[in-house]
């Protein structure tokens, strides 16, 4: 079945440093979504990428979708303590499994003030 | 809207007991998903429904797990009999049927089986 790999598993940064997490799917995706889960909380949707090579920005967050629609990345510029949490990518293979997301293992981000 | 509602928020039970987790999706959402989250296995999709019909239950670990959606506003996930390895956080999520739409997660039920 479809697999979504995400690295790194953990990332510790000093406040103000940048952070990047990478996501790779075993199959071509229809779209990819990113979620953030704060400690003790539930996953919350951040963004969706649909087009090959798409780049989207949300303030200090930049999301990219690869040309082959099999990989993606999330980059945070100048991290803040409010960025702490686990970041998940989730791939939708589309077709007969439309709407079904396969989540990566997540990257746990800690930010030291 | 109150968002996705799950109950109970915490459940502690003994091995062998039946456990029922409940979910009320956001009104108007056509899809409902049940996930299980553990440190070892991450966030796993157990089953999902479209318009109250189970579409894919390939993630249900074994026959001890069952899920129902009797109407558009209610779903249950039942574990009978429960085992310690079922201890996890169980999330329910819902979304509309519109193409390319995000999932809205409930607060989760933290299940501990002793």
The reported pLDDT for the residue numbered A97 is 73
Q: Which residue out of A100, A102, A105 would a mutagenesis test of the B interface target, given it has the greatest number of B Cβ atoms within 10 Å?
A: A100
- Contact in structure between A36 and A15 (CB atoms under 8 Å): no
The reported pLDDT for the residue numbered B1 is 65
- Where helices occur in chain A by DSSP H, the ranges are none
In this complex, the residue of A41, A88, A99 whose CB is nearest that of residue B31 is A99
Q: How far apart are CA B3 and CA B1, in angstroms?
A: 6
The torsion of the CA quartet B48, B50, B51, B52, rounded to 10 degrees, works out to -20
The reported pLDDT for the residue numbered B60 is 94
pLDDT tens sequence across A45-83 = 999 999 999 999 999 999 999 999 999 999 999 999 999
Query: Strand (E) positions, B25-87?
Result: 31-38, 42-50, 53-56, 65-71, 74-79
Contacts of A45 in chain B (CB under 8 A): 102-104
pLDDT in tens, chain B (114 residues): 689 999 999 999 999 999 999 999 999 999 999 999 999 989 999 999 999 999 999 999 889 999 999 999 999 999 999 999 999 999 999 998 777 679 999 999 999 999
State the average pLDDT for chain A. 95
In this complex, the residue of A41, A45, A106 whose CB is nearest that of residue B42 is A106
Q: Which of B49, B47, B89 is nearest to B66 (CA)?
A: B47
* Contact call for A42 and B102, based on CB within 8 A: no
Tell me which residues of chain A, numbers 30 to 49, contact chain B at a CB-CB cutoff of 8 Å.
31, 33, 41-45, 48
* Contact call for B56 and A97, based on CB within 8 A: yes
Q: What percent of chain A has pLDDT over 90?
A: 90
What is the mean predicted confidence (pLDDT) over A38-51? 96
The H or E element spanning position B17 is none
Q: How many contacts does A have with B, using Cβ atoms within 8 A?
A: 46
Bridge partners for B95 per DSSP: B31
pLDDT tens sequence across A96-108 = 777 789 999 999 9
């Amino acid at each position: 079945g479809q697999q979504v790999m995400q690295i790194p598993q953990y990332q510790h940064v000093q406040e103000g440093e940048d952070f990047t997490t990478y996501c790779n799917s075993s199959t071509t995706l229809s779209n990819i979504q990113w979620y953030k889960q704060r400690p003790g909380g539930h996953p919350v949707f951040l963004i969706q990428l649909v087009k090959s090579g798409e780049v989207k920005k949300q303030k200090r967050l930049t999301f990219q979708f690869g040309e082959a629609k099999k990989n993606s990345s999330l980059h945070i510029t100048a991290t803040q303590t409010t960025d702490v949490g686990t970041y998940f990518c989730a791939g939708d293979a589309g077709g007969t499994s439309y709407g079904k997301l396969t989540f990566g293992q997540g990257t746990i981000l800690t930010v030291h003030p | 809207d109150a968002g996705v509602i799950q109950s109970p928020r915490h459940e502690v039970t003994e091995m062998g007991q039946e456990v029922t987790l409940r979910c009320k999706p956001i009104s108007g959402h056509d899809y409902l998903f049940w996930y299980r989250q553990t440190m070892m296995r991450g966030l796993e999709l157990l089953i999902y429904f479209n318009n109250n019909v189970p579409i894919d239950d390939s993630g249900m670990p074994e026959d001890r797990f069952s899920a129902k959606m009797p109407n558009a506003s209610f779903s249950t996930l039942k574990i009978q009999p429960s085992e310690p390895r079922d201890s996890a956080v169980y999330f329910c999520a819902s979304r509309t049927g519109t193409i390319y739409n995000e999932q809205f997660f409930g607060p989760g039920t933290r299940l501990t089986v002793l």
